[in-house]
Structure 1
């Protein structure tokens, strides 16, 4: 990203060079309380908003944005607001393909995308990965790999995780693949972040060895 990129505020702090964030929340109310000021500020700054939502959440999400003072109809018509479902984006052909998604986000990045917006504020709800165990390990690899895309652009990317839907081992690896983390509603420089090449070497070794957690990231309420 540009060394002179304008700082962006999130959860009370300024994002500067690193802008790939994992955000952990316990409820939708907590998530919107933290994210809505960041989203609304983006519209005031003339940034593009790209939101990948869980299926069926469009109407509620638009209502939340409207309550924050955003003219959602005008924003969608102008192209400043772009809404898609996370399943259509990440699972367009019914499966998760890391290389395809790297290409999708590379094209979406502000340095490559057409339009008048200096950068994008991208919010991705990651619940889609909790619906099938086969997605989680590939997702974690992708989260590490995509750092190489976002490090070249000024965009802010927030990956939103519902803590009730992901196992503890998955949460730890998600944290280790993001340079910044929002937890407890506060943005932190992530002391657990591991550079992508190092993380991928370790993670792929674990996968090849058949580490037990890769078969049990997503637990049912009864612990099975």
Structure 2
């Protein structure tokens, strides 16, 4: 299962680490789904061009699917885990002729709201069942400076892989979805349980 939580200190570090991974996917003929805040779409396209990616051609062909965090996660102003499961299921199943997708999701939209984060963490646990059936790589990008320690722990418990800086590894804190959802994981922090 390639569901990764990535912790960076700001956009510069995130782009420095992730752009080679993104460019490798384009070169391999894989699909790229990037979920980015709408105010950063222009900058994101410029960064891709800086890595030699023909952004306009990729958008036209469907190899690049550039989405808005607002439209994807908060289309009516709130996060709905069931709706997101349906959305990610569609992403996983609609390959458009590409062998797999590399999905990069900017998660800054949730970092300032404890209720949104609690709902997101429950979703992140459940979505592992979906990604276990697909070969796609999904990277959930978090700015470490915007998260409390409890939030970091809960995020890590719901991702089987973790990327900290440029170090990718199996996550020793990962809790299998069924165990996490049943409440046997000793959750706390954003999820509201006791340690």
Aligned: 1:150 with 2:131: yes
Matches of residues 144-183 of structure 1 in structure 2 within 5 Å?
144-183=125-164
Deviation at 1:159, TM superposition (A): 0.2
Aligned to 2:3: 20
| Aligned Cα root-mean-square deviation (Å) | 1.8
Three-state SS of the structure 1 residue aligned to 2:146 is: coil
Deviation at 1:132, TM superposition (A): 2.5
Change in CA separation of 1:108 and 1:204 when aligned onto 2, cut-off 3 Å: same
Matches of residues 121-136 of structure 1 in structure 2 within 5 Å?
121-136=102-117
Structure showing greater Rg: 1
Q: Does the aligned pair in 1 maintain the 2:35–2:106 contact within 8 Å?
A: yes
Unaligned runs of 5+ in 2: none
Q: Does the aligned pair in 1 maintain the 2:4–2:163 contact within 8 Å?
A: yes
Deviation at 1:214, TM superposition (A): 3.9
Q: Does the aligned pair in 2 maintain the 1:52–1:83 contact within 8 Å?
A: yes
Note the alpha carbon deviations across 1:89-123, whole angstroms, 9 max, x for none.
011111111111001000110xx205110100000
Aligned to 2:182: 201
Q: TM-score, normalised by structure 2?
A: 0.93
Aligned length: 192
Aligned: 1:93 with 2:87: no
Aligned: 1:34 with 2:17: yes
Three-state SS of the structure 2 residue aligned to 1:178 is: coil
Unaligned runs of 5+ in 1: 1-17, 217-224
Task: Choose from 35, 43, 51 the match for 1:68.
Answer: 51
Q: TM-score, normalised by structure 1?
A: 0.81
